[in-house]
Amino acid sequence: MKKALVCGGGGFIGGHLIKRLKAEGYWVAGVDLKENEYGNNQADYFLVGDLRDPKVCEKIITSDLDEIYQLAADMGGAGFVFTGENDADIMHNSALCNLNVLDEARKKGVKRIFYSSSACMYPEYNQLDPENPKCSEDSAYPAAPDSEYGWEKLFSERLFFTYHRNCGMEVRVARFHNIFGPQGTWHGGREKAPAAISRKVAVAKDGDTIEVWGDGKQTRSFLFVDECVDGVRRLMDSDFIGPVNIGSDEMISINDFTKMVIDISGKNLSIKNIDGPLGVRGRNSDNDLIQQKLGWAPSQPLRKGMEITYAWVKEQAEKAGL
Ligand code: NAD
């Protein structure tokens, strides 16, 4: 039986990844600052611990592990990463997790380790035109991410590749593009657009107005979490080290995205565009490389994933009495 550790296993994607690894027959350990808030924890062993502390890494990273998935990061949506207020925490906390986990894995002789980078590491100058963003893997340099979150991801990608070159470790690096789905953060300030817009629509009454940050013409693509986990597992089982995009190439403007959620809800709502933290003007996953290397592409349209996600967020909002 293969043994895996999911760092950040109490988080959104971590919880889904643990579930997937269990379904594949793995023995799975998880570690996180917190337990999964929505009970999505099927790990055989789970440690609540802080990966900034090398002693926690020493305890949880054992030499019998076949694989480590390093997902732990101090992160959130635009309201967390683009205000500038959390930059020191984002850089310090995430870099420390990556430095500690990777070095402990080397010491224990764990051969294969996955790292979740982000599309936020792509240069802003290629994402100014909402209709034509460029996010192919080879467009990363000259580097110019628009957030410290993106800079830290770029640093850590490079860190992982140095351990590959100098220490013989099998690293796998993916750049996630806006992952969404049930059991993700949906309120509190760290939620990302799909959950935030679902919540706003879920609590609204017919005739209400939904506030959307920016002019709504900014574009993005969103990938359903099960598809993301599938891409991660394919990459891990392949001999391709990356970096590779794991995202959807179904690009949509934020106003059209909001209209889609309103339509799913069946409510009669209008949109009001207001000032807010934004990020780049346009972003879309370029899936040529992943298609070529892993034969992977998203299997379902955005709307299908959003129907599931909207229903889940609505249920959470109702339970919370919103
Ligand atoms: P998440 O916030 O739900 O998960 C991250 C987890 O890391 C959290 O549970 C958090 O408690 C944990 N963590 C943070 N600091 C820690 C520490 N010091 N010690 C132990 N655990 C710690 O976010 P997610 O959406 O599941 O993202 C997982 C990974 O994917 C992150 O690295 C994130 O940067 C990356 N990513 C996510 C997206 C997305 O759209 N969700 C996009 C690009 C990249």
Q: What is the pLDDT of residues 175-205, one digit of tens each?
A: 999 999 999 999 998 899 999 999 999 999 9
- On whether residue 292 sits in a domain, the answer given is no
Q: What is the pLDDT of residue 279?
A: 86
Q: What share of the chain is helix, strand, coil (3-state, %, to 5)?
A: 40, 15, 40
Give the tens place of pLDDT for each residue, 291-304. Answer: 999 999 999 999 99
Q: What is the pLDDT of residue 77?
A: 86
Beta bridge partners of residue 272, listed in sequence order:
211
State the closest ligand 1 atom to the C-alpha of 34, by its place in the atom list counted from 1. 11
Mean pLDDT of 2-13: 98
d(CA 236, CA 125): 31
- Residue with the nearest Cα to atom 27 of ligand 1? 13
Query: Which secondary-structure segment (H or E) carries 213?
Result: strand 209-213
State the closest ligand 1 atom to the C-alpha of 184, by its place in the atom list counted from 1. 3
Q: What is the pLDDT of residue 239?
A: 97
Q: What is the pLDDT of residue 278?
A: 84
- On whether residue 22 sits in a domain, the answer given is yes
Give the residue numbers annotated as catalytic, written as ranges: 149
Mean pLDDT of 78-89: 92
Probe residue for ligand 1, chosen from 12, 75, 179 as the CB with the greatest number of ligand atoms within 8 Å: 75
- Ligand 1 binding pocket (C-beta < 6 A) is 8, 10-14, 32-34, 50-52, 71-75, 93, 97, 116, 118, 176, 178-179, 185, 192
Taking the centre of ligand 1 as the mean of its atom positions, its distance from the CA of residue 294, in whole angstroms, is: 24
Taking the centre of ligand 1 as the mean of its atom positions, its distance from the CA of residue 30, in whole angstroms, is: 13
Q: What is the pLDDT of residue 238?
A: 98
Identify the band that residue 40 occupies on the pLDDT scale cut at 50, 70 and 90: confident
Taking the centre of ligand 1 as the mean of its atom positions, its distance from the CA of residue 271, in whole angstroms, is: 30
- On whether residue 296 sits in a domain, the answer given is no
Instruction: Retrieve residue 255's tokens.
Output: 């106003």
**How many domains is the chain partitioned into structurally?**
2
Mean pLDDT of 22-27: 98
Q: What is the pLDDT of residue 92?
A: 98
- On whether residue 28 sits in a domain, the answer given is yes
Are 145 and 21 members of one domain? Answer: yes
| Residue 227 near residue 157 (C-beta atoms within 8 A) | no
Mean pLDDT of 236-260: 98
- Phi, psi dihedral angles at 59 (to 5 degrees): -75, -45
Domain range for 195 is: 182-220+251-283+301-319
Work out the mean pLDDT of the chain and round it to a whole number: 97
Please count the other Cβ atoms lying within 10 Å of the Cβ belonging to residue 24: 11
Are 201 and 235 members of one domain? Answer: no
Are 240 and 274 members of one domain? Answer: no
Identify the DSSP state of 300: S
Please count the other Cβ atoms lying within 10 Å of the Cβ belonging to residue 125: 12
| Residue 199 near residue 280 (C-beta atoms within 8 A) | no
- Return the CATH number at 137: 3.40.50.720
Taking the centre of ligand 1 as the mean of its atom positions, its distance from the CA of residue 270, in whole angstroms, is: 33
- On whether residue 295 sits in a domain, the answer given is no
- On whether residue 289 sits in a domain, the answer given is no
List the one residue out of 214, 309, 303, 237 whose CA is nearest residue 16: 309
Percentage with pLDDT > 70 across the chain: 100
Taking the centre of ligand 1 as the mean of its atom positions, its distance from the CA of residue 94, in whole angstroms, is: 9
CA dihedral sign, ordered 50, 54, 58, 61: positive
- On whether residue 135 sits in a domain, the answer given is yes
- Residue with the nearest Cα to atom 41 of ligand 1? 179
Mean pLDDT of 245-258: 98
Q: What is the pLDDT of residue 289?
A: 98
State the closest ligand 1 atom to the C-alpha of 72, by its place in the atom list counted from 1. 7
Probe residue for ligand 1, chosen from 18, 57, 176, 245 as the CB with the greatest number of ligand atoms within 8 Å: 176
Are 18 and 87 members of one domain? Answer: yes
- Phi, psi dihedral angles at 289 (to 5 degrees): -65, -45
Give the tens place of pLDDT for each residue, 215-246. Answer: 999 999 999 999 999 999 999 999 999 999 99
Q: Is the pLDDT of residue 111 over 90?
A: no
Are 84 and 198 members of one domain? Answer: no
Pairing of strands 223-224, 270-274: unpaired
Taking the centre of ligand 1 as the mean of its atom positions, its distance from the CA of residue 274, in whole angstroms, is: 28
- Residue with the nearest Cα to atom 35 of ligand 1? 116
Identify the band that residue 84 occupies on the pLDDT scale cut at 50, 70 and 90: very high
List the one residue out of 318, 263, 75, 311 whose CA is nearest residue 185: 75
Are 78 and 99 members of one domain? Answer: yes
Q: What is the pLDDT of residue 275?
A: 93
Identify the band that residue 78 occupies on the pLDDT scale cut at 50, 70 and 90: confident
Q: Is the pLDDT of residue 207 over 90?
A: yes
Are 309 and 195 members of one domain? Answer: yes
- On whether residue 293 sits in a domain, the answer given is no
Identify the band that residue 277 occupies on the pLDDT scale cut at 50, 70 and 90: confident
- Return the CATH number at 279: 3.90.25.10
Are 30 and 167 members of one domain? Answer: yes
pTM of the model: 0.97
DSSP string, 243-272: -EEES----EEHHHHHHHHHHHHT---EEE
Mean pLDDT of 140-154: 97
